[in-house]
Chain A
Amino acid sequence: MKPRSFEYLRPASVDEAVEALARYGDDARILAGGQSLIPMLNFRLLEPLALVDIRHIADLSHIRLDGDMLEVGAAVTQNRLLSWPDLARHVPLLAIAMPWVGHFQTRNRGTVCGSIAHADPSSEIPLSLAMLGGEVVLQSPRGRRVLKADEFQTGMLSTAREADEMIVAVRFPTGSGKAAFREVARRHGDYAIVAVGAVSLSPSEILVGIGGAADRPVVRRYASNGGDLMSEIEALAWELETYEDLHASQRMRRDLVRRLAPAVISELRS
């Protein structure tokens, strides 16, 4: 279980980093926390010619409120954000969803943006970003562009990032209301079989997000006092293109949505 050879690059700036990406194209990978990337390298599932280590780039280590957005730089670890004292006030959903990300030891090194880049459909951070309608800031030698979460994540482990682009930051809208979150996994810290989040948008509207059930997070907006929420959820369960794996059948994923979503919504209302 040893990785194949690669070049190791440690650029001092974002410009240098994206230059390297431009040079290597698809053969380069950004290395930030490495908590998802390095297992795949050790399994020899990937064959990058170069790893571009961005952990040391000073411009990427910020946690910053910017207007109605919380911007998190690409070198910020999950635990750093989780221990940011104002997190629960500004982005309550993240504050309750992030403790479900991996373990203390992986959150110490794993980055917020790395989780977004990895785009696992079960992951809590991409689900949170999708629910809140956040943004991903990408940079390439051609400049910067900003994608909405649902434009960025295009499928299971796939994103709209171009080969010469790197995520420099993600932005979470602040000021959303109360949140509730719950997930089912085989073990605490495992990828969720199904994760459900709910956020109250206004007294009359809530957001419900589902992770783990389909190839990417699914977000729906419901009237919070609508009498037929249950049938909305039933309809949602069928709309999800659920998948089967070792731990759950397609049907079981639908059933988990049918059961978890009402529980999370009722927790939100309580």
Chain B
Amino acid sequence: MTDVQDQAARKEPSAREAAGAHARSGSKHVGKPLRRREDEALLTGAGRYADDLPVPPGTLVAHVLRSPHPHALIRGIDVAAALDLPGVSAVITGEDIAKLSDPFLVAVKEPIPQWSLAVERVRYVGEPVALIVASDRYVAEDAAELVEIDYEPLPVVIDPLEAVGPDAILVHEAVGSNELSRRDFVYGDPDAAFASADRIVKLDVEFPRHSYTPMECFVVVAEYRRAEQSYDVLANFQGPFSAHPVMARALRIPGSKLRLRTPPDSGGSFGIKLSVFPFIVLMGLAARIVGRPVKWVEDRLEHLLAASTGPNRITKVEAAVMNDGRIAGLRLDQLEDYGAYLRAPMPGPLYRMHGALTGAYDIRNLAVANRIVLTNKAPAALNRGFGGPQIYLALERIVQRIAVELGMDPLDVMRRNLIPAGSFPYRTAAGALYDSGDYPQAIEIATGDGRLEDLRRRRDEARAQGRLYGIGYAAVVEPGMSNMGYLSTLLPLAARERSGPKNGAVSMATVNIDPLGAVSVTADTPAQGQGHITVLSQIVADQLGLSPDEITVNLEIDTQKDQWSIASGNYSCRFSPGTAVAAHLAAQKIRDKLARIGAKQLNVLPEDVVLSGGKVRSRSNPDNALAFGRVAGTAHWSPIMLPEGVEPGLRETAVWSPPELEPPTSGDGINTSLTYGFVFDMCGIEVDPMTFQVRVDRYVSMHDAGALLNPLIAEGQIHGAFVQGIATALYEEFIYDEGGGFQTGTFADYVIPTVCEVPPLEIIHMESPSPFTPLGAKGLGEGNCMSVPVCIANAVADALGVTDVRLPATPRRIHDMLTRDEPEAGAGDAR
């Protein structure tokens, strides 16, 4: 602990300045570690989170009654006693909901209808069964105890392998199988690669179910406007706004009649707050039923039980390997467990990484089976990393296994297979177009300066003393801004042709200048703590020659009034390659307009006009200048003074949808994302034979995220993702017992690491700007969620000399690996 923090404390500001060198060239604010403009409100208790905002008079409070059974028929619900309780307005059941709404749209054409309350049957513990609407939450919870539900428990299926086995209990009988979808993909000639390989290395890995649980739970405030038959809902929803059409369809209304607004502040999300969407529909319907506004604040028990989870995945991976370590081909069988229902936009995690399945390696022959399985568990959805942690657990574990089987150093196996420097843009076997990078150099830098030698020395010394010390590595390609067409790879070609191509990732931002020259910005990214207000103000300030604190940024979203599209939202690292670019383009548009207006007033050509220091001035004669506000004001006050062809007013919206994001090809090639950063991690860990705990001794993380827009915020993202990666590697897991009971329903059982559990982190940067975005910036918020779990798994495998490492590597699991038969009572020393 102390080491790392000392290091961070000693770090000179100039190190962060240097990190932003690329983005800063030619710009005054972008690339600098500007302190956050969000912070003052948050530090003084003046944040405005959803539960802090005023609600209309007469607003009622809702409480969700949830199923205690993992699988049961609902034979009847008796609400009479609950309704008799003073203060209770309504008890709403699935029957009411099914009358007023349609099931949510799903990505596969299978009969798996889901409404916002269970209809006729429950399929997981925690599934919403009834909604109590009352004067306050205390009374609503009292009423919940009075609702009598007659359940007929049914047999359950929890284990995903059992679920796809013979005679499995069916989660949805109408589907006829729990394997909801299977697609097989072949790229190159994997059969030939395997036939001619010197060796085939195989491994099964299992990625756990877990969630990065934000500290703020879900909040929804819904009103129904009877006169317009429209819903007005405030929710701490994070996007993607592709869920908006899903909600509108469920509510049987055009999208314009679902006004969804997001609050100014949101207490973290990490993917989770997409899954508030069924509750947006539920509370909207409740408001309609009771004729009053309805507010719901999810509590922590509900949240852990069933808010959202990343999917668990079982991957069988086989590598066709040559004796020099080269991987000639790869086979992946990915079985992903989405729980009891497939919710839009699932099965995202199974397909979002599709183009990048071969990671940082030049592997041309690939066979993939993607299988979706349903079980009696809570539905899975977004979770930071979004499919990345799952694939890299398989890919980087197999690299470590190859090294062990060939008697090579894992780093040498990695180096043998890395995509060579100079081959960018690089088209992967499965169709991703990697934009830029130099992976070998990144690894040289990370392992340099004695860092690798130090790790090896630590390992050697520890092992010489009989201690259990291991080194792990992980190389990760981190995608940024998803191609919204990736999910259509789920469909066979014929089905894709029938429904038409899906592609792109539309980002939008608007810059507005008022009659006195004040600048405001809106954009399609409802922030949850990522510092987007600060970065957008840096970007716009650069274009307009102002300082960032002169730019007001409002990231509350109102779907009736603001620019948005299906890609809008905060997920999959879309801010830096997406929204930031849109803001940059919008600012450029308005800058160009100001230049034309100013040119006329300065009597120069528009090309000669620059905006700097709050002035609109002639580049060739800087003394010839006008105040920014005066030039801007012309567009409002004096349209007559505008040059010909320039519209009055100053408001520009830019739309950014890069051409590289094409639909899937006929050969199932798909460029799943726009930018591809690189992360290389290495760590030394020690297993404590006394306590069975894994102690991370040293952890180094190398990042190439292209140009850094704000290095201070970038490092904050890396630190946060790192600790979440540690959580996945060593601490957090949602556990169900065999009967479907949920075992990790409190923060005492679902163990989120505190500062005491967090090891030191050393961050190194390099910058290979993306050629596909004007700012050169890539995503970087998810890389360590992808790299850390497998890096630590590899180190544990190295320390213990084992093949199978289940995550999280808890003391209990380590104990199972370390101990053999227990001596009989009275047999003396157990060791």
Contact = CB atoms under 8 A, between A and B. Distances in A.
Chain B binds chain A? yes
Interface in A253-270: 254-256, 258-260, 263
B754 A189 contact: yes
Interface string B744-776: 101011010110110000000000000000000
A193 B756 CA distance: 17
Contacts of B59: none
Given A184-B691, A184-B693, A256-B691, A247 B812 contact: yes
Contacts of B811: 184, 186, 193, 247-248, 252
Contacts of B831: 258
Interface string A234-253: 11011000000011110110
B137 interface: yes
Contact of A234 (B145, B743, B828): B828
Interface footprint category on A: 20 to 34
A157 interface: no
Interface in B125-150: 137-138, 141-142, 145
Given A43-B301, A246-B744, A247-B812, A230 B829 contact: yes
B301 A191 contact: no
B748 A234 contact: no
Contacts of A191: 748
B299 interface: yes
A166 to B, nearest CB: 27
Given A1-B300, A43-B301, A186 B810 contact: yes
Centre residue among A1, A3, A237, A260 by max chain B CB count within 10 A: A1
B755 to A, nearest CB: 9
A189 B756 contact: yes
A145 interface: no
A143 to B, nearest CB: 38
A1 B810 contact: no
Interface in B724-741: 731, 735
B754 A246 contact: no
B364 interface: no
B9 interface: no
B692 A252 contact: yes
Interface residues of B, number: 38
Interface string A1-21: 111110000000000000000
Contact of B815 (A5, A43, A235, A255): A255
Interface string B285-301: 00000000000000111
Contact of B731 (A186, A249, A258): A186
B825 A248 contact: no
Given A251-B822, A252-B811, A188 B829 contact: no
Given A2-B138, A255-B819, A238 B735 contact: no
A230 B828 CA distance: 8
A142 interface: no
Contact of B690 (A186, A230, A246, A263): A263
B622 interface: no
A258 B137 contact: no
Given A1-B301, A187-B753, A246-B735, A259 B828 contact: no
B751 A190 contact: yes
Given A2-B138, A43-B301, A188 B756 contact: yes
A43 B137 CA distance: 14
A259 B731 CA distance: 22
Nearest to B749: A246
Interface in B794-830: 810-812, 815, 819, 822, 825-830
Contacts of A231: 828-829
Nearest to B731: A186
Contacts of A44: 141, 145
B689 interface: yes
Main secondary structure of the interface of B (DSSP, over half): loop
B142 A4 contact: yes
Contacts of A5: 138, 142
Interface in A190-213: 190-191, 193
A247 B810 contact: yes
A234 B138 contact: no
Contacts of B815: 248-249, 251-252, 255
A157 B142 CA distance: 27
Contact of B141 (A2, A193, A251, A255): A2
A255 B822 CA distance: 9
Interface string B378-419: 000000000000000000000000000000000000000000
Contacts of B735: 246
B744 A254 contact: no
Interface string B686-726: 00011111000000000000000000000000000000000
Centre residue among A191, A234, A260 by max chain B CB count within 10 A: A234
A237 B819 CA distance: 15
A186 B744 CA distance: 14
Contacts of A255: 692, 815, 819, 822, 830
A238 B757 CA distance: 31
A2 B756 contact: no
B825 A252 contact: no
A260 B811 CA distance: 14
Contacts of B749: 246
A191 B692 CA distance: 17
B748 A190 contact: yes
A254 B827 CA distance: 14
Contacts of B828: 230-231, 234
A235 B810 contact: no
A92 B184 CA distance: 66
A237 B690 contact: no
Nearest to B752: A187
A188 to B, nearest CB: 4
B726 to A, nearest CB: 12
Contacts of B138: 2-3, 5
Given A189-B756, A234-B830, A259 B810 contact: no
Contacts of B689: 259
A163 to B, nearest CB: 24
Interface string A159-194: 000000000000000000000000010111111010
A235 B826 contact: yes
A234 B828 CA distance: 6
Interface string A63-94: 00000000000000000000000000000000
Nearest to A235: B826
Contacts of B830: 234, 237, 254-255, 258
Contacts of B754: 187-189
Contacts of B141: 1-2, 44
Contact of A187 (B757, B812, B822, B826): B757
B299 A1 contact: yes
Nearest to B691: A184
B757 to A, nearest CB: 6
Centre residue among A251, A255, A256 by max chain B CB count within 10 A: A255
Contacts of A251: 815, 819, 822
B751 A187 contact: yes
B812 A252 contact: yes
A234 B829 contact: yes
Nearest to B301: A1
Interface string A22-54: 000000000000000000000110000000000
Nearest to B689: A259
13 contacts: A1-B141, A2-B138, A187-B754, A190-B751, A193-B811, A234-B830, A238-B826, A246-B735, A248-B815, A249-B812, A255-B819, A256-B692, A258-B831
Given A1-B300, A2-B138, A186-B810, 11 more contacts: A184-B692, A187-B757, A193-B811, A235-B825, A246-B744, A247-B812, A248-B811, A251-B815, A252-B815, A258-B831, A259-B690
Interface of A: 1-5, 43-44, 184, 186-191, 193, 230-231, 234-235, 237-238, 246-249, 251-252, 254-256, 258-260, 263
Closest 3 CB pairs of A and B: A188-B756, A238-B825, A1-B299
